[in-house]
A and B are shown apart, each in its own frame.
Chain A
Amino acid sequence: GQQLNQSPQSMFIQEGEDVSMNCTSSSIFNTWLWYKQDPGEGPVLLIALYKAGELTSNGRLTAQFGITRKDSFLNISASIPSDVGIYFCAGCSKGAQKLVFGQGTRLTINP
């Protein structure tokens, strides 16, 4: 079945630093999504990507749909304490009934 490899698994950074994380798939995806989960809450959609090569921003967050359609990247610029949480990538191929999720990147920020 389809698998997603998300890296890194965890990050420990200083406030103000930029963050980069990525996901790679064993197969081609038509949709890439990035979610953030705060402790004790459900994941919330940050950015959705629907076209190869697409670059989309949401405030300090920028995500890209890889040109090969097998990867995606999320960057966070100038991190702040409220960026702490778990970030999940997710993707699916055309006609799929469900998303495939990455294992998550846990972001910790030292003030």
Chain B
Amino acid sequence: DGGITQSPKYLFRKEGQNVTLSCEQNLNHDAMYWYRQDPGQGLRLIYYSQIVNDFQKGDIAEGYSVSREKKESFPLTVTSAQKNPTAFYLCASRDRDYGYTFGSGTRLTVV
């Protein structure tokens, strides 16, 4: 079955460390997205990519970086410059009718 896989489900980071969250899709979708969700809050767009080797900043890109070297993969790096990284991170890909398919998320905690 096609879908999006995010890993790991839970991630712990020490202060000052970079961490990379994985997002892989086998839906053959061109566009992929990263969102951040804080407790009780909505979805805020971090970065998105419409095509391989191209990506754009979303509303809260500071302290994050991405790459899109393969159509299937869109990893997100949370850098030490992100001052409040503890959150739930969601990856999504988009079909031609604008329906997003989301992964099951990664919960990042700074310890």
The segment from A12-20, A58-66, A71-79, A92-100 found at the interface with B is: A92-100
The contact string, 1 if C-beta is below 8 Å from chain A, for chain B 68-111, is 00000000000000000000101010100111111111010000
Q: How far is the CA of A10 from the CA of B98 in the complex (A)?
A: 26
> B21 at the A/B interface (Cβ < 8 Å)?
no
- Contact yes or no, B99 A42, CB < 8 A: no
Min CB gap B104→A, angstroms: 5
Residue of A at shortest CB range from B92?
A: A42
Q: A50-B97, A97-B50 are in contact. Are A41 and B42 (CB under 8 A)?
A: no
The contact string, 1 if C-beta is below 8 Å from chain A, for chain B 41-65, is 1110100101000001010000000
Residues of B within 8 A of A33 (CB): 98-100
For the side of the interface on B, what is the size category?
A: 20 to 34
- Contact yes or no, A40 B42, CB < 8 A: no
Q: How far is the CA of A101 from the CA of B102 in the complex (A)?
A: 13
A-B pairs under 8 A by CB, number: 58
> B66 at the A/B interface (Cβ < 8 Å)?
no
Q: How far is the CA of A73 from the CA of B111 in the complex (A)?
A: 41
- Contact yes or no, A92 B101, CB < 8 A: no
Residues of A within 8 A of B102 (CB): 35, 42-44
Min CB gap A91→B, angstroms: 9
Residue of B at shortest CB range from A100?
A: B45
Q: What count of chain A residues pass the 8 Å CB interface test?
A: 23
Residue of B at shortest CB range from A50?
A: B97
- Contact yes or no, B99 A98, CB < 8 A: no
Residue of A at shortest CB range from B107?
A: A40
> A7 at the A/B interface (Cβ < 8 Å)?
no
Query: Interface residues, chain B, CB within 8 Å of chain A?
Result: 4, 6, 31, 33, 40-43, 45, 48, 50, 56, 58, 88, 90, 92, 94, 97-105, 107
New A-B pairs, 13, CB < 8 Å, besides A31-B97, A97-B50, A101-B43: A33-B99, A41-B104, A42-B4, A42-B6, A42-B105, A43-B43, A43-B90, A48-B97, A88-B42, A97-B48, A97-B56, A98-B94, A104-B42
